[in-house]
Structure 1
Amino acid sequence: MSAAERARRVKVIVFDVDGVLTDGRLFFVPTGKDSNGEPTAVEVKGFTAHDGLGIAIARAAGLKVGIITKRQSDTVAVRMRDLKVDHLYQGAHFKTEALAKIATSEAVGLEEMAYVGDDIIDLPPMRQVGFAVATWNAREQVKREAHWVTPHAGGLGAGRDVIDFILESQGRLDEAIGFYLSKENKSPDIGSGGM
């Protein structure tokens, strides 16, 4: 089955975060010391607006969006709330468990799901879904098992690549963009980010 044929069946897109929706770099800004004298810091990540707009277009098209990441990050929580993603699982070492919960919640089969990853921790969910995607910057082991590889790297538009490819394969990209840009789109695409 071709990548486009697989993409035609997708109803839910699930993304990893680090290396997929970000470039994979983690920045820690020191904030002082805790009550035990241990240093504390906040974690900072960079997200591209192209991926954010892509998620808004996916939502306008009726696709559901999920996030499964091993790390716990307030930055991710704020950004995903901002983008109004449907499912967010942080601290998920065994990503297939979260994937199964999303499938059950959305009443879809795994063959109707896409998973986008970049490293070996993403292989188990990629092996279960109908459309497995690796980012351009993914580890070679991940690229070998993907049905499709994005033309852009994680954090530089890979998320948007996947959304555009799925909607184009379904013959709905132009319609989704048209609806997103229209006055009929009454649902705000992003929140305030807690600002």
Structure 2
Amino acid sequence: MELTLQERAAKIKVVVFDVDGVLTDGMLYFIPTGKKEDGSVAAVEVKGFSAHDGLGMGIGRIAGLRFGIITKRSSDTVAVRMRDLKVEFIHQGSQQKMEAIRSIMAEADVALDEICYVGDDIIDLPPMRAVGLAVATWNAREQVKAASHYVTPSAGGHGAGRDTIDLILDAKGVLLESMEEYLRQAGTAGDIGHGVQ
């Protein structure tokens, strides 16, 4: 029997995000920083992240959710932001995203139906087809939306992560109490790091 969206969301223990187009708006900015020894141009990659998503992860952790990312690209900017948000499972440079999903399953001791994956492009289809809750961002490719159980009302980089977390916590019946507990702990929860050190 097919599970409802609420039933799927209520089972989730780990939320895994793609990065570009999900936790960011998908735009990549490169700022030249000079020449390398080989004569090529060195550059810093810059991305923008939504503060709503970060706060949502803090609220989600209070409710017992765990978080991860799987991204094809490797970026120091992503490493800094994920450290800032205290994301537990970080897989950068992952061409085969199901390998990373299996690694997260083993490390977190969870089953596929206890994982939510949030994606926006076709590279995200293998994990989306396998996990318990597949979420597509509002700005996702149509093929990805078709494979999802839920499409966020917000675009990637503009609160799609928070939409997903709110959906899961609401399905578990703990959204409002988790928000209130977050507010009670504000300033002491240690949910957000300090980014660049």
TM-score bracket, shorter-length normalisation: over 0.9
Normalised by the length of structure 2, the TM-score is 0.96
Q: Report whether the alignment pairs 1:193 with 2:195.
A: yes
- After TM superposition, give the deviation of residue 43 of structure 1 in Å: 0.2
C-alpha contact (below 8 Å) 2:154/2:163 kept by paired residues: yes
Pick aligned residue for 2:31 from 20, 29, 32: 29
TM-score normalised over the length of structure 1:
0.97
> Residues of 1 paired with 2:4 and 2:74: CA distance?
35
Structure 2 CA distance for aligned equivalents of residues 189 and 105 of structure 1: 21
Give the match for residue 177 of structure 1.
179
Aligned 8 A contact 1:6 1:131 in 2: yes
Match of 1:103 in 2: 105
Write the deviation string for residues 137-176 of structure 1: whole angstroms up to 9, x where unpaired: 0000000000000000000000000000000011010111
Cα distance, 1:184 vs structure 2 = 8.8
2:13 maps to 11
Residue 131 of structure 2: aligned partner: 129
Return the match for 2:54 from 49, 52, 55. Answer: 52
Displacement, 1:183? 3.6
Number of aligned residue pairs: 195
Following superposition, the deviation at residue 178 of structure 1 comes to: 1.4
Query: Residues 40, 108 of structure 1: CA spacing in aligned structure 2 closer, same or farther, 3 A cutoff?
Result: same
**Residues 110 and 128, structure 1, Cα contact 8 Å, conserved in 2:** yes
Q: Report how far residue 66 of structure 1 moved.
A: 0.5
User: What 5-or-longer segments of structure 1 have no aligned partner?
Assistant: none
Over 3 Å counting, the alpha-carbon distance change for 1:184 and 1:45 in structure 2 is closer
Q: Percent identity?
A: 62
Quote the Cα distance in structure 1 between the aligned partners of 2:93 and 2:79.
Answer: 12
Q: Distance in 2 between matches of 1:67 and 1:142?
A: 17
Instruction: Give the secondary-structure state (helix, strand or coil) at the position aligned to 2:19.
Output: coil
Partners of 1:112 and 1:156 in 2: how far apart? 25
Matched position secondary structure for 2:192: coil
Could you tell me how far apart the structure 1 residues matched to 2:150 and 2:72 are?
23
The answer to whether the 8 Å contact 1:51/1:158 transfers is yes
Residue 187 of structure 1 and its aligned partner are, at CA, apart by: 3.3
Structure 1 residue 186: Cα displacement: 4.6
Cα distance between partner residues in 2 of 1:192 and 1:71: 23
- Whether the 8 Å contact between 2:182 and 2:189 is mirrored in structure 1 is no
3-state SS of the aligned residue for 1:115?
Answer: strand
- Taking only aligned residues, the RMSD between alpha carbons, in angstroms, comes to 1.2
